[in-house]
Amino acid sequence: MIRLAVCGAAGRMGRLILAMAYAQRGHFEVRAAVDVPGNPLLGSPIGSFSEYKNTDVRLTDSLKSVLPDCDVVIDFSASEQSVKTAQECAQAGVAVVIGTTGLNAGQVALLDEAAKSVPVVYAPNMSVGVNLLFKLAGMIAQMLDEDYDVEIVEAHHRFKKDAPSGTACRLAEIIAQARGVSLETHGNYGRKGMVGERKAGEIGIHTVRMGNVVGDHTVTFANLGERIELTHKAQSRETFALGALKAARFIADKKSGRYDMQDVLGLR
């Protein structure tokens, strides 16, 4: 039985993770649920805002105080908090799964620092399908030369705060790595005005925000004669919550180090 804490528990993903953990209660027991100071739900039993039933666990704003009672923390909150979560877990010797997106390079380096002490899974997208997309996009990028233009288009719901999505950024990184180029020099984030002809080897990354789209990603490889398109469409957030719980089960007995969903799903 994995003793679980969820950080960002009152959010869209947090509530679903609680619900899915309850559905898998043979494997998980939620010992703590944490959200930001000032959240109106603080102090409420988690069963009042999620499908996690039969518990007296209440929403708290102090992760540190609950860590001694936990084996794994799952964090889907905000970038600054996720770094803090990883640091507190490292001090307490608790494994951590970070699903939050929009972390900058410095923040990712701090996750790596925490991963020297505890196992850390950090993945911008926890769905099985997207992780397969990562794998396939990398393989295709390796097989095709720069005559094939690469364009990545992502769409998400109107509430999403960061852009491009962490998934689109990861796709671009994987393709750049496969081509042996840097995203700094080859990434092109949106186009406007008299930008001139497309440069060979560019990796285009474009963002759409609309309605309640859960998450769509398309990678296109195109030359003058043909186009290959790889598309993934998430139909519901449950797929991410299930992936997060898979990751929690994976790291519960792992050594310290940084892992991602390719490790969790055995796609490495």
8-state DSSP, 22: H
Report the nearest approach of ligand NAD to the CB of residue 114 (Å): 16
| Residue that is written with structure tokens 């951590």 in the block | 96
Pairing label, strands 95-98, 216-222: unpaired
Rounded to a whole number of angstroms, the minimum distance from the CB of residue 15 to ligand NAD is 8
Shortest CB 53 distance to ligand NAD, Å: 20
Nearest Cα neighbor of 32 from 51, 4, 54, 8 is 4
Nearer to ligand NAD, 186 or 246 (CB): 246
State which residue, 72 or 123, has the beta carbon closest to ligand NAD: 123
SS3 content of the chain, % helix, strand, coil (to 5): 35, 25, 40
Cis upstream peptide for 164 (omega within 30°): yes
Nearer to ligand NAD, 153 or 169 (CB): 169
Report the residue number whose CB is nearest to ligand NAD: 11
Whole-number minimum distance, CB 149 to ligand NAD, in Å? 28
Active site residues: 156, 160
Cα 188–chain centre separation? 22
Three-state DSSP state, 85? helix
Cβ closest to ligand NAD, residue 16 vs residue 252: 16
Min CB(195)–ligand NAD separation in Å: 29
Angstrom distances, CA of residue 114 to CA of 11, 35, 95, 106, 166? 24, 21, 10, 13, 20
> What's the CA gap between 66 and 183, in Å, rounded?
40
Nearer CB in complex with ligand NAD: 54/212: 212
Q: What amino acid occupies position 215? A: G
Pairwise CA distance, residues 228 & 222, whole Å: 6
Binding residues for ligand NAD, rule: CB under 6 A, are 7-8, 10-14, 34-36, 39, 76-78, 81, 99-102, 123-126, 240
Alpha-carbon distance of 224 to 228, in angstroms, equals 12
